[in-house]
């Protein structure tokens, strides 16, 4: 086949999509890496615009295109050009735009139910404390009423809730003459603290529900979605990403009106990277499809993606056809990205009904090299990787870059010079190993752990305050007329001066706290309020129970990291020490971590390190992949790659027998997808270094990569 013939064949696939669009037949395009999925999506949108724009304009309708990240949104917008007939956004932004206008009834009713359900959970936890012999006395003496009605005690509690037990007991000395039972209740200070927090949480939820139940108050309420915050703040009427999906699904399921609005307004609904889309979103779209069919409406959804590139835990992957039935399946076989050698490799890895061919048969100048190391000294891994990269560099032109994929996060942190940040977060044990990659190293901020994202925002505030290129908007966001240029300039200068000599986050927070005091934060200085809200998503009401901003931040960090679970004094002390260790890490390492998250690099960078997941959707001329038996080292990552290569060298009968175990099958598919995504990033040159003993899996490695050589 020639390039011209292949281009003709490729156009037949695009025509199949166009025919589906013409007939309002919902479809799923499944296309391998480098096949031009985004091109197919853009061409589909352009086709609708070319043939249906007049009709769209007449009916006040638009095409909607949702994708996985803001980076992808910007790419699609850039490739489409300016048009008023296409809405391109992430799924969260799109759903929020659709539901946020229904504040006074449907949305608030859902929020009311969520508050009520959470209140029941809180009450259930409170009831559990009745079994504590020291705290049971509280329930017979109307302690909750004392707690909520005594002036100043709430502030006293939150300012001192992390002090040692002996100091905490002294705070209640003045109350024990009137409330004698406090002496017994305070015998277990940690349980007492946890119960008090539950009472205050209960109070905040009850007050929120009371506001909703009062007609005049209800009119003032607005549910807010904060895409910079990764957890709910229900009493403040603020929801996070997952709750937004939950509310949206409920609204579409409960109210036909929502289905009708979307279908009438957006007759063409395109979803990019479908394999990474949350199952609840697919369920929601399936509801729309079913409703449109029942009402004989002209409406379609077109999914674009590749189920073999599903590497995220919450992505639908190949389950899409189980959840959303009656979709026309369209496969795309051509690869526009890679040389023939690389295409042969990734065909072996994916091993399904998509067998890719190079769009240009003459594209044959690729190279694949596989090395293994007999030297199993783990302490020497960094040096080994650097020598491997140097050898790779010597084989390519000086002006080219190598993109190196690293399977172990600790290795990547060392290579990128933020190992102290990594170690301090890892030691805190706030996340499990299997989500550490996404919750600590993700380029998508909404994937980061709430505590990690809070550290990110602190470092970004430091970075902006120290940069000469920072604008007032970068620090303050959009302000009203009550902030003058003089106020803004004075405030930012004070903040900059407070962090001039700091070397870690702890010093930075103390410096900021010296400026953000009770006196300064009042109505006379709105600029600081805007700074707190825009840069850190903090409002004054959040900190008013604390004497200093520093105390509030430490408490916020503790809650984000360890929650409100019942803990003894030793654990509390250990956790506070961990936080201090994190805050004491040098800011240079924090800035290196932020640069990794933000993908900031200069033109002279020769080697760029990535996690496997972080390269999703990317393509590079030169790719280095570091492999070893494990992927993460524990749990499902233990022997992850070793098990895969061991499996593929088994007989077909052995493979089929092992695949009867659903968990084994799921883990194997995930590993296959991970290796597929990693290897398919390369356009020309791919080199792999395996840092473990390959004796038991040599046949499996040779089946995929051909000749393998010892790295010397």
Residue pLDDT, tens place only, 624-672: 999 999 987 556 788 999 999 999 999 999 999 999 999 999 999 999 9
Residues 354-369 have pLDDT tens digits of: 999 999 888 888 899 9
- What pLDDT sits at residue 560? 87
pLDDT exceeds 60 at position 615: yes
Secondary structure of residue 468 in the 3-state scheme: coil
37 is in an annotated binding site: yes
- What pLDDT sits at residue 230? 64
- What pLDDT sits at residue 523? 46
Count Cα neighbours of 73 within 13 Å in the Cβ-side half-sphere.
Answer: 16
pLDDT exceeds 60 at position 69: yes
34 is in an annotated binding site: yes
- What pLDDT sits at residue 482? 77
Tokens of 417: 């010079």
- What pLDDT sits at residue 434? 66
Q: What percent of the chain has pLDDT over 70?
A: 97
pLDDT exceeds 70 at position 472: yes
Residues 252-276 have pLDDT tens digits of: 999 999 899 999 999 999 999 999 9
3-state helix, strand, coil in the chain (%, to 5): 60, 10, 30
Mean pLDDT calculated for residue range 691-701: 95
Across 50-59, 408-417, 483-492, 642-651, least confident range? 483-492
Residues 592-612 have pLDDT tens digits of: 999 999 988 887 889 999 999
What's the predicted TM-score (pTM) here? Answer: 0.82
| Under 8 Å between Cβ of 348 and 702 | no
- What pLDDT sits at residue 520? 53
pLDDT exceeds 90 at position 114: yes
Q: What percent of the chain has pLDDT over 90?
A: 58
- What pLDDT sits at residue 616? 81
Count CB-CB contacts under 10 A for residue 105: 10
As a whole number, the mean pLDDT across the chain is 89
Give the span between the Cα atoms of 172 and 24, in whole angstroms.
70
Tokens of 20: 């589906």
Query: Which residues share a beta bridge with 368?
Result: 686
Q: Which residues contact 110 (CB under 8 A, 6 or more apart)?
A: 247, 250, 251
- For the chain, domain boundaries: 3-102+254-332, 106-219, 357-407+612-710, 419-598
Mean pLDDT calculated for residue range 532-560: 86
pLDDT exceeds 90 at position 133: no
- What pLDDT sits at residue 518? 55
DSSP string across 534-578: HHH---HHHHTTSS-HHHHHHHHHHHHHHTT----HHHHHHHHHH
The architecture of the domain spanning 3-102+254-332 is 3-Layer(aba) Sandwich (3.40)
15 vs 129, higher pLDDT: 15
Residues 547-591 have pLDDT tens digits of: 889 999 998 898 888 876 555 667 778 888 999 999 999 999 999
398 vs 521, higher pLDDT: 398
Q: Which of 102-111, 456-465, 469-478 has the highest mean pLDDT?
A: 456-465
| Under 8 Å between Cβ of 96 and 90 | no
Give the span between the Cα atoms of 223 and 229, in whole angstroms.
14
Residues 177-215 have pLDDT tens digits of: 778 888 888 888 888 888 998 999 999 999 999 999 999
Tokens 């939150």 -> residue? 158
pLDDT exceeds 90 at position 150: no
DSSP string across 48-101: HHHHHHHHHHHTT--EEEEESSHHHHHHHHHHH-S-TTEEEEEHHHHHHHHHTT
pLDDT exceeds 60 at position 80: yes
Mean pLDDT calculated for residue range 238-261: 91
124 vs 133, higher pLDDT: 124
Give the span between the Cα atoms of 458 and 545, in whole angstroms.
21
pLDDT exceeds 50 at position 353: yes
* Confidence bin at 244 (pLDDT 50/70/90): very high
Tokens 């917008």 -> residue? 77
- What pLDDT sits at residue 153? 86
* Confidence bin at 378 (pLDDT 50/70/90): low
- What pLDDT sits at residue 165? 81
Secondary structure of residue 238 in the 3-state scheme: strand
* Confidence bin at 13 (pLDDT 50/70/90): very high
32 is in an annotated binding site: yes
35 is in an annotated binding site: yes
pLDDT exceeds 90 at position 617: no
* Cα dist from 711 to 153, 392, 606, 622, 631, whole Å: 67, 12, 21, 18, 21
- What pLDDT sits at residue 436? 78
- What pLDDT sits at residue 568? 64
Mean pLDDT calculated for residue range 361-390: 88
């Amino acid at each position: 086949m020639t390039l011209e013939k292949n281009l003709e064949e490729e156009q037949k696939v695009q025509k199949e999509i166009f025919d589906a669009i013409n007939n309002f037949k919902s479809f799923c395009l499944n296309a391998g890496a480098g096949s031009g999925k985004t091109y197919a999506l853009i061409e589909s949108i352009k086709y609708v615009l070319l043939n249906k724009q007049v009709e769209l304009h007449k009916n006040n309708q638009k095409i909607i295109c949702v994708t996985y990240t803001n980076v992808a949104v910007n790419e699609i917008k850039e490739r489409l050009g300016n048009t008023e007939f296409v809405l391109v956004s992430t799924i969260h932004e799109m759903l929020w735009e659709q539901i946020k206008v229904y504040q006074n009834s449907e949305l608030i009713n859902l929020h009311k139910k969520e508050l009520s359900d959470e209140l029941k959970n809180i009450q259930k936890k409170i009831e559990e404390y009745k079994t504590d012999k020291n705290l049971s006395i509280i329930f017979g003496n109307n302690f909750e009423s004392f707690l909520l009605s005594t002036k100043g005690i709430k502030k006293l509690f939150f300012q001192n809730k992390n002090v040692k037990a002996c100091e905490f007991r002294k705070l209640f000395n003045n109350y024990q003459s009137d409330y004698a039972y406090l002496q017994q209740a305070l015998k277990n200070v940690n349980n007492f603290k946890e119960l008090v927090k539950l009472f205050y949480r209960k109070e905040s939820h009850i007050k929120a529900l009371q506001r909703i139940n009062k007609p005049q108050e209800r009119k003032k309420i607005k549910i807010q979605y904060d895409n910079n915050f990764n957890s709910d703040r229900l009493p403040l009427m603020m929801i996070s990403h997952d709750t937004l999906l939950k509310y949206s699904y409920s609204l579409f399921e409960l109210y036909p009106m929502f289905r009708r609005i979307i279908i009438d307004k957006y007759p063409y609904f395109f979803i990019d990277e479908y394999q990474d889309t949350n199952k609840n979103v697919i369920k929601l779209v399936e509801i729309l499809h079913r409703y449109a069919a029942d009402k004989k409406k002209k409406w379609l959804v077109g999914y674009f993606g590749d189920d073999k590139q599903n590497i995220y835990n919450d992505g639908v992957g190949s389950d899409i056809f189980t959840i959303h039935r009656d979709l026309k399946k369209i496969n795309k076989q051509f690869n526009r990205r890679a040389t023939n050698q690389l295409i042969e490799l990734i065909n072996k890895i994916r091993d399904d009904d998509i067998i890719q061919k190079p769009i240009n048969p003459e594209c044959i100048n690729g190279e694949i090299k596989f090395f293994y190391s007999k030297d199993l000294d783990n302490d020497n891994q960094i040096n080994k990787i650097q020598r491997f990269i140097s050898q790779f560099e010597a084989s390519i032109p000086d002006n080219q870059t190598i993109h190196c994929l690293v399977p172990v996060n600790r290795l990547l942190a060392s290579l990128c010079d933020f190992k102290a940040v990594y170690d301090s977060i890892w030691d805190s044990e706030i996340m499990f190993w299997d989500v550490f990659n996404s919750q600590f190293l993700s380029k998508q901020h909404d994937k980061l752990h709430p505590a990690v994202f809070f550290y990110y925002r602190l470092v970004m505030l430091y970075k902006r305050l120290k940069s000469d290129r920072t604008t007032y908007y970068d620090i303050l966001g959009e302000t009203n007329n009550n902030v003058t240029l003089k106020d803004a300039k004075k405030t930012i200068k004070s903040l900059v001066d407070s962090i001039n000599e700091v070397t870690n986050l702890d010093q930075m927070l103390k410096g900021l706290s010296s400026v953000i005091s009770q006196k300064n934060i009042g109505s006379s200085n709105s600029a600081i309020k805007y700074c707190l809200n825009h840069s850190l998503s903090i409002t004054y009401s959040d900190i008013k129970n604390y004497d200093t901003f520093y105390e509030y931040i430490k408490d916020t960090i503790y809650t984000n990291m360890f929650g409100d679970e019942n803990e003894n004094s030793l654990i509390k002390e250990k956790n506070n020490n961990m936080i201090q260790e994190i805050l004491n890490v040098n800011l240079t390492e924090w800035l290196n971590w932020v640069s990794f998250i933000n993908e900031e690099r200069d033109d002279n960078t020769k080697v760029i390190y990535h996690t496997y997941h972080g390269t999703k959707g990317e393509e590079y001329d030169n790719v280095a992949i570091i492999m070893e038996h494990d992927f993460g080292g524990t749990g499902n990552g233990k022997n992850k790659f070793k098990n895969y290569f061991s499996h593929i060298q088994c007989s077909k009968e052995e493979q089929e027998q092992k695949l009867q175990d659903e968990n084994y099958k799921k883990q194997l598919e995930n590993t296959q997808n991970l290796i597929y995504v990693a290897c398919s990033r390369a356009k020309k040159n791919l080199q792999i270094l395996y840092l473990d003993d390959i004796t038991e899996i040599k046949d499996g490695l040779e089946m995929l990569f051909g000749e393998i050589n010892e790295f010397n």
